[in-house]
Homo-oligomer: A and B are copies of this chain.
Amino acid sequence: MSRRSSAVERLRDQLYGELLDGTYPSGSKLPNEDEMAERAGVSRATVREAVTGLVETGYLTRRQGAGTFVARNLPRRHSLDQSVSYLSMIRDAGMEARLILVDYGVQAATESDAAALAVAPGTQLMSVERIRTADGRPVVYSIDRLPLEYVPEGEHDIEASLYEVLERAGHRVDGAGAQLTPVVAEGRLARLLAVEVGTPLLHIEQVDLDRDRHPVMLSSEWHVADAFELHVNRRRAPERPPPRR
């Protein structure tokens, strides 16, 4: 069994379910915090923590003196900022997602790879080239590189998610930094993605991080423009004090 869930998680999940099933429609007002606490048999602090989680992800809004309300434009769940899995994004768009292995091998880390992964130059890296398809059509071509020691023996022919491989090796990916650049398809890239030369593509250079923000994998990806929508939930940055001098 996995870990027992906390009162906060149970309450958050319950509220989340009630948002989805229409108990609290968009724009409606929730019971006040004292009442929610009494109903759920927990303290108000616990209610606040559960509600805060849903406020931060954009499902609820709070107005001091007025109440807690269901947000009017619920956020996308499978967006670039909130997920690291393209397969789930493709499935979320209602299409059948598949992963095709193009090539794989072991290579020595270049200077820049080594720096990005915080390993010594020359460290052996596993490199995996794959294509993701949506309803059979190529939509993402990627080259992933990760230290060979993270890949258990016998898993070198990667057909499944590299995130799962990393998680089993104790390096669960918890976030990433991604750099976006538009490019045009040419040569081998155009052939692999089955598009014409000159077709616009979105290129993403990404560093995957574990929960301590330690780098565990590098990804270079090329996305076909109109295959599925790439969405980003943007949030206003909190005001920050000026850096000290």
How far, in angstroms, from A69 to B213 measured CA to CA in the complex?
A: 11
How far, in angstroms, from A21 to B244 measured CA to CA in the complex?
A: 7
Chain B residues contacting A20 (CB-CB under 8 Å) are 243-244
Closest CB of chain B to A24's CB: distance in Å?
13
Chain B residues contacting A232 (CB-CB under 8 Å) are 80-81, 177-178, 180, 232
Q: Is A173 an interface residue (CB 8 A)?
A: yes
Q: Is A202 an interface residue (CB 8 A)?
A: yes
- What count of chain A residues pass the 8 Å CB interface test? 67
The reply to whether A214 and B182 form a contact with Cβ atoms under 8 Å apart is no
Residue of B with least CB distance to A209:
B73
Contact stretch, chosen from A34-42, A105-113, A144-152, A222-230? A222-230
The reply to whether A175 and B235 form a contact with Cβ atoms under 8 Å apart is yes
Q: Is A61 an interface residue (CB 8 A)?
A: yes
Chain B residues contacting A74 (CB-CB under 8 Å) are 213
Chain B residues contacting A201 (CB-CB under 8 Å) are 182, 200
Closest CB of chain B to A9's CB: distance in Å?
9
The reply to whether B16 and A241 form a contact with Cβ atoms under 8 Å apart is yes
The reply to whether B234 and A84 form a contact with Cβ atoms under 8 Å apart is yes
Residue of B with least CB distance to A172:
B236
Closest CB of chain B to A151's CB: distance in Å?
20
How far, in angstroms, from A223 to B71 measured CA to CA in the complex?
A: 30
The reply to whether A234 and B176 form a contact with Cβ atoms under 8 Å apart is yes
Extra inter-chain contacts (12) besides given A80-B81, A83-B236, A177-B231, CB under 8 Å: A17-B244, A61-B212, A61-B213, A80-B180, A80-B232, A82-B237, A175-B235, A181-B225, A182-B223, A183-B200, A183-B225, A184-B200
- A residues near B, CB below 8 A? 13, 16-17, 20-21, 53, 56-58, 61, 63, 69, 71-78, 80-84, 118, 173-184, 198, 200-202, 206-207, 209, 211-215, 223, 225-226, 229-238, 240-241, 243-244
